[in-house]
Amino acid sequence: MIPIAKPYLTEEEAQAAYDTILSGWITQGPKVQEFEEKFAAYTGAKYAVAVSNCTTALHLAMIVASIGPGDEVICPSMSYIATANAIRYVGATPVFAEVEPDTYNLDAADAEARITDRTKAILLVHQIGMPADIDTFKDLCSKYNLKLIEDAACAAGSAYKGAKIGSHSELVCFSFHPRKVISTGDGGMITTNREDYYDRLKLLRQHGMSVNDRVRHEANRIIFEDHVELGYNYRMTDIQAAVGIKQLEKLDWIVEERRKIAAAFNQAFNGIDSIRLPQEHEGYFSNYQSYSIYLKDTAAVSRNTLMQKLLDRGVATRRGIMNTHRETAYKNYAPDVSLPVSMELQDNSIILPLYVPMKPEDINYVIDCFKKEILPVAQIKLCYRKEQG
C-alpha cells in the first residue's frame, strides 16, 4: 500500500531524542529555546514561541490579539475544524467566508463582504501549503482596523513574495503534526515580530507563571514564581524540540524533494481536460504539504469511486479539504451560510500520496493508476502512444 503521507525521520532525530532523554531535562527547557531561536531565524521573524500543537497556538494567538465574546473572526469553512474551534475557544464567533477555486485559499472579496461592526480579525489559512495573498489581506485589515492572524499549520517552508511564511504578520501559527512537512510527533510554533506578544505568549503557555522552570533551575539564588494571569499547559517538551531542530535543518531539502514530486504529477497530468491541477501563481512558493486535484463534471468517474478504485490498486488517497460548517459540531451553528465553491471543492477534490522519500516507481505507479481510472479507455491509448513518441 502506498500511504497518503509519511514523516521523514532518521537516526539523527532518534539520536537527538535519546541524548535529550539522557540529559535529564525532558520538559520545556534549553532545547525548546534553541528550537525557537532557530525557527525564528529560518522564517525571518523576530520571535518564535513553541507550544504543544497548532490548535493551542491558534488559541493563544486569539487571546493575545484580544479577541473574545461578542467578536467575530472571518475564516474559511474549508479548513481543518481546529481553525474555527480556536475562535470559539475564546467565546468569539467564526464567520465563514468563501475560498478561491484555484488555490483553496480565502477569497478576499467575499471576506470583505462579510465584515460587520463586530468583526475583530481575519484568520487567514495557507491551505495545504499554498500561500494565501497576505498583502491583500493586510490591506483589508488595515482598511477596517482588524487583526490578521495566519493559520500556517501546513506552511512551514512555503514562501510569499520571496519571504518565508512566518515573517509577514504579527501572529503566525505552525503545526508539526506527522502529516506536516516536518514533525516533532506533535507540536506547534507561533512567530511574531511584537515583543509584547512574545512575552505574553511565553507566559500563557506555562500556566501564567512569571518565571519558567529553566530560569529557576539555572538561578544562583532562590526564586519564587507568581502566577500572574489565567494560563494554560501548552508547552512543548525538550524531547520534541530536539527532534524539531534536526527536522528544521532538513526543511529546505524536504520542500525541494516534495516540489519535484509535485512537478512530476503536474507534468504527467497536464492536458487532462477533466481535472484541475494545483495553481501556484507568480510570487507564491508552496511546500506541497498535500497535492490536491479537482475533478470537473466531465471526469469519467466520480471522486468517491475514484478513491475506492485507487485504494483497490493499493494507493491511499484522501477526500478534499473538509468544510467545517458541514460537520456535526457545527450543523446548527451557521445553518444559513452559503459556500457553494467550498462545498464543490470538498466534494470533488482528491488528495494523492506525496511524501519524502517517495520511490520513483511509487510515483510512477500513482500516476499510472490515476490515469487509468480518470481517463476514458480511448484517451489512455492516445496518451500511451504520445509517451512512446
Indicate if 114 and 225 belong to the same structural domain. yes
pTM: 0.94
Residues 276 and 384 grouped into a single domain: yes
> How many domains, the chain?
2
324 and 381 together in one domain: yes
Q: What is the pLDDT of residues 85-120, one digit of tens each?
A: 999 999 999 999 999 999 999 999 999 999 999 999
Active site residue 180: yes
pLDDT confidence band for 377 (50 / 70 / 90): low
Residues in the chain, total: 389
Q: Mark whether 212 and 257 lie in a shared domain.
A: no
Same domain, 42 and 153: yes
Provide the residue range defining the domain that includes 209: 11-249
Is 3 contained in some domain?
no
From the list 120, 180, 246, 250, the catalytic residue is 180
Instruction: Look at residues 207, 171, 200 and name the one whose alpha carbon lies nearest to residue 188.
Output: 171
Report CA-CA distances (Å) from 318 to 293, 312, 321: 11, 14, 9
Give how far Cα 206 sits from Cα of 186, 221, 228, 236, 340, Å.
17, 22, 11, 10, 42
The string of pLDDT tens digits covering residues 213-251 is 777 767 778 788 888 899 999 999 999 999 999 999 999
Residue where one domain finishes, among candidates 249, 278, 297: 249
261 closest CA partner among 186, 153, 360: 360
**Residue 21 maps to which CATH number?**
3.40.640.10
Q: Is residue 1 part of a domain?
A: no
pLDDT given at position 384: 47
Q: Phi/psi of residue 115, each to 5°? A: -75, 135
Write the pLDDT tens digit of every residue in 289-299.
999 999 999 99
Same domain? 197 vs 277: no
Q: Is the residue at 2 inside a domain?
A: no
In a domain? residue 277 = yes
